[in-house]
Amino acid sequence: MDDLKPFEVAHLGPIELRNRLIKSATFEGTATRGEVTDDLIAFHRRVAAGGAAMTTLAYCAVAADGRTYRNQIWMRDEVVPGLARLTEAVHGEGAAAAIQLGHAGFFATPRATGTRPMAPSRIFAPNGLTFARAMGDDDLDRVVGDYEAAARLAVAAGFDAIEVHLGHGYLLSQFLSPWSNRRRDAWGGDVEGRSRLPRAALAAVRAAAGPSVAVTAKLNMLDGFRGGLSIDDGVEVARLLERDGTVDAIELTGGFTSRNPMFLMRGETPIGELIRQERSRIRRLGLQIAGRRMMRAVPFEEAFFLPHALQVRAAVSLPLILLGGITRLDTITHALAEGFEFVAMARALLREPDLPARMHQGVTDAAACIPCNRCVVEMERGGTRCVFVPRENEEPS
């Protein structure tokens, strides 16, 4: 087979994409009252106009109790008109629109949800400074139904693809991880048991999506700490998803937000700025005491997930999306030559949303992004953005 080219037309399941570059989900922090805003639409319009094949609306909770922030979008009838405005704006720039669906599990914030967090097993929930309760059968059934209902709303809003979040320590990832899933029933134990809820959620989303919408999974290959999901188990989960036939592609990632957040970001740790901007006195004190230990720096390397992703590539034949520190055109070309069908970029497109177009035109072959991670701090200051791009220079919403 001929080597795939970055800027050729490609197919992701039932949808056609104008190239092989995807904007991965990065939580935008620009929703208010849990609804779409003009700023959120403008964020994705810039990415679409900049040449990416598809832009992904980040973390929309499938239910009110799955939120980590009070203003986070959660899927219900009232948000569909706003979501439709977003997909129309993206389509108007020639790109496809994807939505990431997830549930926070024990990451949920009681101040936002008004409820006690839940998890595969009883575990301390740092966002609420409480213990999450173990989920019962009714909870499990309800969560699967929430994913199905959320997917139907996403289709009604005009999304071309639905990404189900099985990574970074959110609920479905909590089930996959032996560190957080200590159940001894059919929903725990070996890889097949721990993957039962994620696979049931994907099956429900696949049924709701219909034949014209792509379904993908953002899958942790490994958690990155002792006692967490191993790469061998991550590979086995990918095999199970391929066997199920519920996904058109898997986006490969890793890391567990509450244990090792820098494993999934890499580069500098802006702990001082995170402490200064934290409004909660309790959380600020927690960051001062334990922040540097929890957010240990992990050196940045170009395409840092590639070695693990190649193990998944060798085990499955379904399309894979490579993610993680991709900033150069030659890296993209190399990834496609290694057998990955798509490449996802995140932080690089915060600084340069037009980077794909400029690469295609031969204007540049590398992103200006540096792994300072100060964009993460900006999420609490009016929305995720690159600090090297003054707000006044951004396209008005």
Cα–Cα distance list, 249 to 52, 218, 246, 320, 333 (Å) = 17, 9, 9, 5, 19
pLDDT at 287: 57
Q: Is the pLDDT of residue 63 over 50?
A: yes
Write the DSSP symbol of residue 126: T
Residue range 238-244: average pLDDT? 98
Task: State the Cα–Cα distance between residues 345 and 329, nearest whole angstrom.
Answer: 11
> Percent helix, strand and coil across the chain, each rounded to 5?
40, 15, 45
Which of 59, 69, 147, 170 does the annotation list as catalytic? 170
In sequence order, the 6+-apart residues with CB closer than 8 A to the CB of 252 are: 219, 221, 305, 308, 309, 312, 320, 321, 322, 323, 324
Residue 396: per-residue pLDDT: 37
Mean pLDDT lowest among 47-61, 185-199, 251-265, 334-348:
251-265
> What pLDDT was estimated at residue 196?
98
Average pLDDT over residues 125-144: 94
pLDDT given for residue 397 in this prediction = 35
Which percentage of the chain shows pLDDT scores above 70?
A: 91
Element (H, E) at 156: helix 137-156
Calculate the CA 133 to chain-centre distance.
25
Span 53-79, mean pLDDT?
Answer: 96
Total residues belonging to the chain: 397
**pLDDT class of 127 with cuts at 50, 70, 90:** confident
Select from 255, 250, 273, 277 the least CA-distant residue to 265: 255
pLDDT for position 393: 47
Task: Give the pLDDT confidence score for residue 51 in this predicted structure.
Answer: 98
Residue 233 scores a pLDDT above 60: yes
The residues, ordered by sequence, that sit 6+ positions from 193 with a Cβ below 8 Å of its Cβ are: 183, 185, 186, 187
For the segment 85-99, the average pLDDT, to the nearest whole number, is: 98
Q: Quick one: which of 252, 251, 253 has its CA closest to 261?
A: 253
Separation of alpha carbons 17 and 25, rounded Å: 17
Q: What is the pLDDT of residues 10-46, one digit of tens each?
A: 999 999 999 999 999 999 999 988 999 999 999 999 9
Least confident of 25-39, 184-198, 375-389: 375-389
Q: Per DSSP, what are the bridge partners of residue 56? A: 98
Query: What is the chain's mean pLDDT, rounded?
Result: 92
pLDDT in tens, 192-218: 999 999 999 999 999 999 999 999 999
Query: Is 170 tagged catalytic?
Result: yes
* H or E segment and range at residue 218: strand 214-220
Residue 283's pLDDT is 60
Query: Quick check: pTM over 0.85?
Result: yes
Tens of pLDDT, residue by residue over 261-318, are 888 989 888 666 665 665 565 565 555 556 566 677 788 999 999 999 999 999 999 9
**Which CATH number applies to 10-393?**
3.20.20.70
Domain boundaries, the chain: 10-393
Phi-psi region of 262 (alpha: psi -120 to 50; beta: other; left: phi over 0): alpha
